């Protein structure tokens, strides 16, 4: 098995879930209704937990401790897609981003249940159950707010247009795409994107939202290579603010 390809793949999944989990946790105490505070918080907990599990797999492959890897790297060493690091903005953007991201994550983990890398396949079976709830939550809100009031529909439409170029960046290919596919570690970003498109079309088709014409959209890439927006480094600085004050200390 090409270990470099595998590690690269695990890092991008771990970084995605860590960063989106961080953003979702920012809704704690700030949600539009208490029930949404609670929902975003519980999804964030699952996501941070998933990233810990992935960093633990990486640690078993010889990488540093999960805490060190998560809290001590700088932005250019992170391989999350840029979509996950964008600020929460209003609830409409957060829920649209959550829908676009979670749909891809659910499909990705589902594909990972067939991975030839057995520890990942095992983990994926467990994570799938958590993601079923995340997907249900996202779909429910998108379907409802996407057909409720004029304001909710137009807010979601605007956010959808804003988020879409970044969402396409989820599927930025890694330099090891061929190896991943050939060794059955993962079926590849192209396959994932096809599945994702039909999944989001199905949900959005039940709403009054219009999917932007993808042929006219320039995907925002770079995240998978460590080229990020200006939003990631401040997020990481905040995340590691306490951790970095006392290197080596236990908390």
Partner 1 sequence: MYGGGNTFEGIKTDSLAQEDPQKLAAFEARIARGEKIEPTDWMPQLYRKQLIRMIEQHAHSEIIGALPEGTWITRAPGFKRKMALMAKVQDEVGHAQLLYSAAETLGKSREEMINDLISGRSKYSNVFNYPTFTWADCCFISWLVDAGAIVNQLANAKGSYGPYCRALDRICAEESFHLKYGHHCVIYLASGTPHQREMFQEALNRWWTPMMHFFGPSDKISAHTEILMRWKVKMGTNDEMRNQFLDMYVPKIWELGFTIPDPALKKDPATGKWAYTEPDWEEFKRVINGDGPCNKERLAVRRVAEERGRWVREALKSPKMNYVTPLA
Binding residues vs partner 1 (CB under 8 A): 22, 25-26, 28-39, 41-42, 44-45, 48-49, 52, 66-67, 70-71, 90-91, 133, 136-137, 140-141, 144-145, 147-149, 151-152, 155, 235, 238-239, 241-243, 245-246, 249-251
Q: Rounded to the nearest whole angstrom, what is the least distance from the CB of residue 5 to partner 1 in the complex? A: 26
Q: What are the CA-CA distances from residue 87 to residues 92, 145, 223 (Å)?
A: 12, 21, 15
The neighbour count for residue 224, using CB atoms within 10 Å, is 24
Q: Encoding tokens for residue 111?
A: 């594909």
User: Least CB distance from residue 86 to partner 1, whole Å?
Assistant: 15
Which residue, 102 or 115, is less far from partner 1 as judged by CB?
102
The gap from C-alpha 159 to its chain's centroid, in whole angstroms, comes to 17
Q: Is 55 within 8 Å of 66 (Cβ atoms)?
A: yes
- The nearest distance, CB 141 to partner 1, in angstroms, is 7
| Cβ 10 to partner 1 shortest distance, Å | 16
**Residue whose structure tokens are 């997907």:** 135
Q: Which is nearer to partner 1, 33 or 216 (CB)?
A: 33
- Contact residues for 4 (Cβ-Cβ < 8 A; gap 6+): 176
Q: What angle do CA 59, 196, 216 make, to 5 degrees?
A: 115
CB nearer to partner 1: pick between 158 and 191:
158
Question: Residue 35 CB, nearest distance to partner 1 (Å)?
Answer: 3
* Nearer to partner 1 among residue 98 and residue 224 (C-beta): 98
Closest to partner 1 by CB, 145 or 203: 145
Place of tokens 């890092």: 11
Q: In degrees to the nearest 10, what's the CA dihedral of 60, 62, 64, 66?
A: -20
**Closest distance of CB 230 from partner 1, Å:** 17
Q: How many Å separate Cα 230 from the centre of its chain?
A: 18
Pick the closer one to partner 1 by CB: 46 or 179: 46
């Amino acid at each position: 098995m090409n270990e470099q390809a595998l590690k690269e793949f695990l890092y991008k999944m771990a970084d995605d879930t860590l960063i989106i989990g961080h953003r979702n946790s920012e809704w704690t105490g700030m949600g539009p209704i208490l029930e949404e505070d609670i929902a975003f918080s519980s999804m964030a907990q699952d996501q941070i937990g998933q990233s810990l599990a992935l960093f633990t797999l990486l640690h078993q492959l010889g990488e540093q401790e999960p805490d060190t890897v998560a809290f001590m790297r700088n932005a250019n060493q992170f391989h999350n897609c840029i979509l996950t690091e964008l600020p929460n903005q209003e609830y409409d953007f957060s829920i649209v981003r959550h829908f676009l991201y979670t749909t891809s994550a659910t499909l990705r983990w589902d594909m990972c249940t067939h991975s030839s890398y057995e520890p990942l396949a095992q983990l994926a079976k467990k994570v799938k159950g958590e993601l079923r709830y995340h997907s249900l939550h996202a779909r429910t809100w998108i379907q409802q707010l996407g057909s409720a009031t004029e304001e909710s529909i137009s807010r979601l439409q605007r956010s959808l247009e804003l988020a879409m170029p970044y969402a396409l960046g989820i599927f930025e290919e890694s330099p090891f795409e061929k190896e991943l596919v050939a060794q059955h570690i993962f079926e590849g970003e192209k396959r994932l994107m096809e599945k994702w498109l039909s999944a989001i079309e199905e949900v959005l088709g039940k709403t009054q939202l219009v999917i932007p014409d993808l042929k006219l959209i320039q995907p925002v890439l770079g995240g998978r290579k460590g080229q990020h927006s200006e939003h990631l480094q401040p997020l990481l600085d905040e995340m590691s603010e306490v951790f970095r004050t006392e290197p080596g200390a236990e908390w």
